[in-house]
Amino acid sequence: MTKQERKTWFITGVSSGLGRELARAVRRSGDRVIGTARKAAHVAELAAEGIDALILDVDDEASVQRGVSEATARLGRIDVLVNNAGFGMAGAVEALSIEEVRAVMETNFFGALRVTQALIPSMRTTGGTIVMVTSMAGVVGFAGTGAYCASKFALEGLSEALADELAPFGVHVLIVEPGSFRTAFAGDSNRRASRSIDAYAGTQAGEAHRMMAAYAGTEPGDPAKGADAIIATVRSPSPPRRLVLGADAVELISAKLDQVRQDIGAWREVSRATAFS
């Protein structure tokens, strides 16, 4: 790979999981990368591996502006932005406080929006790729994870609109929809609603946090392979709009799309019969 062919990557949320594996894989590939983490200890851990990182909190506008400025100064330009920072929230919709839902939206949706808006002006002039890491839960709603699903559904809609807005400037938006990967997501990175409601006991909505905790460490997805898939897709001469990662995600998203088609077909005449006579 020549110096001209090397890409520069800016990846949020590289303290663990898919983000960390992606930073490692990008570095191994010969591209340059700067990651972000919220804690100095994580930045030090990454530095020990030879991975450049800086402290950045996607929930804080000033922190985002400082981080983007510093990354741009170090790299010269950013070819690939990966919005990966985020966390999960388990709990029935009825049990969630508005503050808990806002916290999820603040990081998973508004955090990605802040970083993207900070980098769009420069990427409009140079071209590049914006990778939005959503989830299969950004396409399929799961009982007990309504707040998380809401944040990822919102990010999907934003990303679709952004893709059309930035295409004339040579910026491609790639939506990555991972299934269950063996990261800290189902364990330490998954929060739960502060209250529970007895009526949901024994249902998926009421037991989601316990079910996810039991599943942690046995997820089928290998984050290192997921990272390689993202890099290969970004480098493709004809990348897709969406990259679904994991057999579970492929099956569940496909089933959702089939159900949507069935509903449209079954109720087509009712849907169409709403125009003025």
The reply to whether 134 falls in a domain is yes
- The whole-angstrom separation of Cα 110 and Cα 89 is 16
- Report the C-alpha gap between 80 and 235 in whole angstroms: 10
Strands (E), 4-49: 8-11, 32-37
Domain-embedded: residue 168 = yes
Residue 191 lies in a domain: yes
- How much is the pTM? 0.94
Contact call for residues 136 and 152 (beta carbons, < 8 A): no
Asked whether residue 2 is domain-assigned, the answer is no
Mean pLDDT of 140-151: 96
Q: Which domain holds residue 211?
A: 8-271
148 catalytic? Reply is yes
| Position 3 in a domain | no
Residue 144 and residue 205 in contact, taking contact as beta carbons nearer than 8 Å: yes
Query: DSSP strand E in the chain: where?
Result: 8-11, 32-37, 52-55, 80-83, 88-90, 128-133, 171-178, 190-192, 242-245
- How many structural domains are present in the chain? 1
Predicted pLDDT at 43: 94
Q: What is the mean pLDDT of the segment spanning 5-19? A: 93
Residue 40 lies in a domain: yes
Domain contains 28: yes
Average pLDDT, whole number, for the chain? Answer: 93
Residue 172 lies in a domain: yes
Q: Which of 177, 71, 56, 60 is nearest to 119 (CA)?
A: 71
230 vs 205 pLDDT, higher one = 230
Output the CA–CA distances (angstroms, integers) from residue 71 to 9, 25, 113, 129, 133, in the order listed. Answer: 9, 19, 17, 16, 20
Place 272 in a pLDDT band, splitting at 50, 70 and 90.
Answer: very high
CATH number at residue 87: 3.40.50.720
For 96-135, list the strands marked E by DSSP: 128-133
Residue 215 above 80 pLDDT?
no
Catalytic residue among 9, 10, 109, 148: 148
Confidence label for 194 from pLDDT (cuts 50, 70 and 90)? confident
- Cβ atoms of 177 and 138 within 8 Å: the answer is yes
